[in-house]
Chains A and B, each alone.
Chain A
Amino acid sequence: EDKVVQSPLSLVVHEGDTVTLNCSYEVTNFRSLLWYKQEKKAPTFLFMLTSSGIEKKSGRLSSILDKKELSSILNITATQTGDSAIYLCAVGLQGAQKLVFGQGTRLTINP
């Protein structure tokens, strides 16, 4: 069974801190790994990582894919209260046009 696990499930930090969110996967045919941010509404796309693009960066957010360790991390530096959200990791599979999602990490940034 294809499986995606995120850790921690919940994290509370102070504004300005740096956080690292983790995503590990056990799937039959890996194709891509995606990160989404979900505030009080629909998930919004952040990054997609593949074998040909294992590192992505956008402003204070960055993500790395480690295909050897079957995992990815999402880093957020200099956190702001607007970063408070659920962060979802998902894996795309070869030969199947669908994603397998992890449980999500709920990140709370306190002022």
Chain B
Amino acid sequence: DAGITQSPRHKVTETGTPVTLRCHQTENHRYMYWYRQDPGHGLRLIHYSYGVKDTDKGEVSDGYSVSRSKTEDFLLTLESATSSQTSVYFCAISGRTGLTDTQYFGPGTRLTVL
């Protein structure tokens, strides 16, 4: 295991409520990523971070924000959840070694928005 945890692992919430997902790593990797996975779409990048307080948007960033105040933690926030954000969310890390392209994934969070 690459020392990545995600919390919560499962969450059911209602439309319009804010939701925050947490990714925690113990491996001191520089880069952290949030993806969502939906049937037929593979993994789609939401946001990523290349250092503390340094983040950038991915291909499906609308409706999501992120924060990284410590190397080990990367938070994903849905400001006002919608049913289209029902998905499985994966966190990933990379960059501790020279093979920076190799990403290691957390166990995932299944989010259901009713």
Query: Which residues of B are found within 8 Å of A100, using beta-carbon distances?
Result: 45
Cβ-based interface call for B83 (8 A):
no
Interface size, chain A (Cβ < 8 Å): 22
How many interface contacts (CB-CB < 8 Å) are there between A and B?
51
Q: Given B35, B41, B100, B102, which contacts A103 in the complex, CB threshold below 8 Å?
A: B41
Give A106 to B107 CA distance when docked, in angstroms.
19
| Cα distance, A32 to B94, chains bound together (Å) | 14
A40 CB to nearest B CB, Å: 10
* B contact residues vs A (CB 8 Å cutoff): 31, 33, 35, 40-45, 48, 50, 58, 90, 94-95, 99-108
Q: A43-B43, A88-B43, A97-B95 are in contact. List 5 more A-B contacts (CB 8 A).
A: A41-B108, A48-B99, A98-B48, A99-B101, A101-B42
